[in-house]
Chain A
């Protein structure tokens, strides 16, 4: 597994044209108001590759995801998905381009039913049955609970709903923000199983994480973000990867 991942990473490094990459960031900068948060980040994710983006709180990981999604204004650099430049595209266009997003902060409409939460993620109700089939394929327990309020799910179940929702529309690129946060180890394994399967099906992912062990086991490559800049990166399977990342994160 680790060896395969290392090879995939090396492969990604060789393929340098951004047009080939599922996602390519070139010197991306962004921020809010007077505050600059992401500062010149370059990063690419190849087709069928998982890249883990690690870093402490407040280092700009979520802002980077939101910049890709067009929810935070891009101030410098370029972002392409499958070769297409993203500047100025609405989130709706991104969904159509095959970008899925599993947010971390307030990721669900707590007071709406699970079904309504899912309906809101598909462009039209006609696409819902097929999308739900896919969702139940990953997380069958949701099948009997569609009428339940999303807020009544446990923390881990909510994470599964968030991930399932992002996968419903067969995305080619997934942006995932701290999917393992607050989730019990057994459920983390289950999430990882789903993500592994999706990668095998050719989906590319940028995974923001603080759970180092989970992230490195899942990803092909990792990058560490510190104060809005990438300070370290490498194959996730490298023997010293864990030690290096924790060196950046912990006390």
Chain B
């Protein structure tokens, strides 16, 4: 009944277009490099000098955009890393001069010092259950601390007057212009390739739904820390270039005010578009240099007003306007080609074993004085499909939460395949073979169906940092879910455009794609049509029928429960009151009373 999914035909015509679209960033980059190489010949010295600075700032804008526009981390801290890189360069060049060794040491220091600081900042900012606001708070504190340390540095850092007069690279202003242009193009190209690649989707996934990332077995914290450190290093190199090009470094280069300016430029240009922030930064900084001499306050006033207006009315920035115009053209509406779906062989070492998949012993949980769960004992083996039923407030969802997040404060013991999970974060529990589907469909709203599924496979197959894979390998069961729900024909559709039922099915497919040993489903049929329910029921039965997987579902629809379960567990007021076969439970007087509202106290 469940046969292999036929290969999508339409994908066959795609490779040529795909190759073209993959080459596009490189072509644009080469053209931009040529133009910028020639530019110093036609621009006056003032423009060359200003634009050199603007392009270095644009590099910082790219890093802010990756962090904020893509990964959702609003940061004011890039200025600090930039300042550390610039000061490291200036201090080393002051001490050793622009000898080859001095330059090499300066580059190394401008790379390593910000990266280490970035690691520390990342470690401080991101932890299990940290909030985006907290990361922003830390990003405010870092530049303030760095600036004060510069003030405290005395001769080393030149204190409030900064450092000036150190040896620099032997370039004329044209040389710096070209160096800055090259650096900007390389960084932007790398960022562009990254965000178009599969790995770039992980950044957006983090922004959209960090919890879902963790429940796909990805480690959000590690990703965020690495991103922070890597982009700190990029900002540090920008600082190296800046120190050389300008020949002076000052505390305000590292300050929080500069950090906010970067955010303003990115916001005006258009967060999450890379080119928007690059062009926005260059345009604003260049205009500022030209206008602020004549109308210094008016210019700031206009910029501030524009910023407020853009944030409120056009959160996507100016690039969003351009993008809308582009999509209105026929060329802009082209749909990307969907990846080809292929079936993956099941994991061979996931063989059936004698150990129960899940054991729960004397589990209890309380919120303050309110006891939600008490004395729960449960053992679930491969091949079982266990329904967890009970009225509102019986503790069903709480139980599911305890099973999938070992950092929940509970007492008693829970083990997955014999491994105790107390203290383990959700992503590590996913690593033990647990997949959890939430009650409200938890997918990545900004990503396409295919991207969501690819992220679900990321913990097994990894993600390409440079390209988009042309195939999407999924376990047969996940393919079945897609085919039965028609999602296999909607692979390129953004998930925010899916119906409620389609989102639920997509999340189920994502969880199944994890190849879990234990699937936890919280009301998988809530709000679904009759046909959608039947589909989900069929999938679950087929999954567990193989005898290698167990499923636990919380469900209110008792007809549905009766149809699919191999066993039913009844919770009432935090206690396990009944555990038996469908017949046991259906015939039970106790269940009847509980459901007609009679059994209280």
Contacts and interface: CB of A to CB of B under 8 A. Distances in A.
Task: Give the one of A36, A58, A183, A210 with max B CB within 10 A.
Answer: A58
A229 to B, nearest CB: 12
Given A34-B499, A210-B391, A182 B556 contact: no
A214 interface: yes
Interface string B433-450: 000000000000000000
Contacts of B601: 184
Given A34-B499, A57-B391, A212 B523 contact: no
Interface in B584-600: 585-586, 591-592, 595-598, 600
Contacts of B393: 181-182
A181 B596 contact: no
A185 interface: yes
B558 interface: yes
Given A58-B523, A181-B392, A34 B600 contact: no
A211 B597 contact: yes
A180 B499 contact: no
B558 A182 contact: no
Contacts of B523: 58
B597 A214 contact: yes
Interface of B: 391-393, 498-500, 503, 523, 526-527, 556-558, 561-562, 585-586, 591-592, 595-598, 600-601
Given A36-B500, A56-B556, A251 B591 contact: yes
A250 B596 CA distance: 7
Contacts of B499: 34
A194 interface: no
Contacts of A78: none
A133 B600 CA distance: 31
A171 B439 CA distance: 36
B597 A212 contact: yes
Interface string A50-62: 0000001110000
Interface of A: 34-37, 56-58, 180-185, 209-214, 227, 246, 249-251
A250 B391 contact: no
B597 A58 contact: no
Nearest to B392: A57
A37 B597 contact: no
Given A36-B500, A58-B523, A212 B556 contact: no
Contacts of A57: 391-392, 556
Nearest to B369: A151
A212 B391 CA distance: 13
Nearest to A242: B596
Contacts of A34: 498-500, 503
B392 A213 contact: no
Nearest to A214: B597
Contacts of B527: 35-37, 58, 227
B600 A185 contact: yes
B562 A210 contact: no
B597 A210 contact: yes
Contacts of B526: 58
B597 A251 contact: no
B596 A211 contact: yes
Top 3 A-B pairs, shortest CB-CB distance: A211-B597, A35-B500, A251-B558
B16 to A, nearest CB: 36
A126 to B, nearest CB: 36
A212 B592 CA distance: 11
B348 to A, nearest CB: 40
Nearest to B523: A58
7 contacts: A36-B500, A181-B392, A183-B600, A210-B595, A213-B596, A213-B598, A246-B595
Given A35-B527, A184-B601, A210-B392, 15 more contacts: A34-B499, A34-B500, A35-B500, A37-B527, A180-B597, A181-B393, A181-B597, A182-B393, A184-B600, A211-B597, A213-B596, A213-B597, A214-B597, A249-B595, A250-B592
Contact of B600 (A36, A56, A182): A182
B598 A211 contact: yes
Task: Give the one of B586, B596, B598, B601 with max A CB within 10 A.
Answer: B596
Contacts of B600: 182-185
A226 to B, nearest CB: 10
Contacts of B585: 251
Contacts of B598: 211, 213
Nearest to B496: A34
Contact of B595 (A36, A181, A209, A250): A250
Nearest to A56: B556
A36 B526 CA distance: 11
A210 B503 CA distance: 29
Contacts of A183: 600
Nearest to B562: A251
Nearest to B598: A213
Contacts of A249: 595-596
A35 B392 CA distance: 21
Nearest to A209: B597
A37 B526 CA distance: 10
B440 to A, nearest CB: 9
Contacts of B391: 57, 210
B500 A246 contact: no
A181 B556 CA distance: 17
Contacts of B592: 246, 250-251
Given A34-B500, A249-B595, A58 B556 contact: yes
Contacts of B586: 251
Contacts of A180: 597
A210 B390 CA distance: 12
Contacts of B498: 34
Contacts of B558: 56, 250-251
A182 B558 CA distance: 21
B589 to A, nearest CB: 11
A37 B528 CA distance: 10
B597 A246 contact: no
Task: Give the one of A37, A214, A251 with max B CB within 10 A.
Answer: A251
B297 to A, nearest CB: 43
Nearest to A215: B597
A43 B125 CA distance: 53
A250 B597 CA distance: 11
Nearest to B533: A227
A232 to B, nearest CB: 15
A60 to B, nearest CB: 9
A91 B194 CA distance: 49
A247 to B, nearest CB: 11
A180 to B, nearest CB: 6
A35 B501 CA distance: 9
B507 to A, nearest CB: 13
Nearest to B568: A251
A136 B100 CA distance: 89
Nearest to A228: B527
A251 B595 contact: yes
Nearest to B557: A56
A240 to B, nearest CB: 15
Nearest to B439: A58
Task: Give the one of A36, A182, A213 with max B CB within 10 A.
Answer: A182
A97 to B, nearest CB: 30
Nearest to A35: B500
A126 B210 CA distance: 49
Contacts of B591: 250-251
Contacts of A246: 592, 595-596
A196 B503 CA distance: 45
Task: Give the one of B393, B499, B527, B601 with max A CB within 10 A.
Answer: B527
